[in-house]
Amino acid sequence: MNWTATGGVGHPAPGGFPHDALLYDTVDDLVGTVTPFLTDGLAAGDAAVVAVRPGTAAVLREALGADPRILVLDETVAYDRRAPAAITAFRRVAEENAPGASGRVRVVGEIDFGPTERDWLEWERYEAVINEALRGWNLWGVCLYDTGRLPAPVTEAGRRTHRQLVTPTSRTPSPGFTDPALHLRSMPVPDEPLERTPPRFAAADVADFIGLRHEVATELSALTAPADLVEDFLLAVDEMTSNAVRHGRPPVGLRLWTAPDRVVCTITDGGPGWDDPFAGYGPAHGEDLSRGGMGLWLARQLCDYVDLRGGEHHEGDGGISVRLTLRLP
């Protein structure tokens, strides 16, 4: 396939964020797709970045040689354990490696989707979100899905979250692709069994925000967990409780559960909530951080899982619930 032709099947039109998926089951398909994608791009004046698992990186290094123009990133640098940090990382890649106004940064990425269905769901959200979050960042991404290694639900999600599927000989629209906003709205909120048990701490109608913070901090101080993780989680709880008090409607409630492997906190209020499925994957007001709007964005970076739910999860009529989850080592 010609990856350098202007327009046509092999090359996306300018603008937007071309977000392709390679679903492969042989090394030949991997090398036969990625090698021309990167080398044809270099010949056309694009930059080339690889952020993949160590085993995949070794295969690609052997195929590509020691070309100094290809930047190979440690996958943990590109894909932090949380999606908003990965979005920030790829925006930085676009800024630091921009080849000029006429070129793109071509990125070959491979996510470690984790061992559980909960982890798969979180990274599926990321794959849907970046269709919008990286729009206009002069990137062209090809995401790798090893169908022999990954669970079937993960590869099927790849078909739904990528506009184009690529092979060594073709680049074609994915028949399973779903509009990102519709896809995000349709995704389930995972069940949390702790919510069906008595909470460790609860406040039904928050009136004293400072006092509440001290009470939550006292409960979290009893955990046998690294102090930095506990502080991060407390900050996330602060941010979301503050958001509920300032922007929601009373009553504002909080419930906290702890278990040996995780901490869960839900914050509820009587307001209308969010209708933006991309909320919290970047600051609400873009790069101008002085305007605020960072609460949900910070929470997504500080917690392993952040789930937004509608009125059926609120004690009363209507309302919104934000559930924060931190995994403990």
13-34 pLDDT, tens digit per residue, is 555 799 999 999 999 999 999 9
Rounded Cα distance, 154 and 114, in Å: 10
Q: Given this model, what pLDDT does residue 120 score?
A: 95
pLDDT tier, 128 (very low <50, low <70, confident <90, very high otherwise): very high
DSSP collapsed to 3 states, 102-147: CCCEEEEECCCCCCCHHHHHHHHHHHHHHHHHCCCCCEEEEEEEEC
The pLDDT tens digits of the residues spanning 294-317 come to 789 899 999 999 999 875 444 444
Which of 64-73, 219-228, 254-263, 271-280 has the highest mean predicted lDDT (pLDDT)? Answer: 254-263
CATH code of 19-186, in short, is: 3.40.50.300
Q: Over the chain, what is the mean pLDDT? A: 88
Rounded Cα distance, 311 and 31, in Å: 49
Strands 105-109 and 47-52: parallel
Q: Which CATH architecture has domain 193-327?
A: 2-Layer Sandwich (3.30)
- Nearest CA to 126 out of 324, 296, 278 is that of 278
Rounded to two decimals, what is the model's pTM? 0.89
Q: Which residues pair with 165 in a beta bridge?
A: 21, 172
The pLDDT tens digits of the residues spanning 145-195 come to 999 999 999 999 999 999 999 999 999 999 999 999 999 999 999 999 999
For CATH 3.30.565.10, list the domain ranges present in the chain. 193-327
Rounded Cα distance, 327 and 329, in Å: 7
Rounded Cα distance, 274 and 293, in Å: 13
The pLDDT tens digits of the residues spanning 198-239 come to 999 999 888 788 889 999 999 999 898 899 999 999 999 999
CA within 13 Å, CB half, 125: 27
The pLDDT tens digits of the residues spanning 28-79 come to 999 999 999 999 999 999 999 999 999 999 999 999 988 899 999 888 888 8
Q: What is the DSSP string of 153-198?
A: HHHHHHHHH-SEEE-SS-EEE-TT---HHHHHHHSPPPP-GGGGS-
For CATH 3.40.50.300, list the domain ranges present in the chain. 19-186
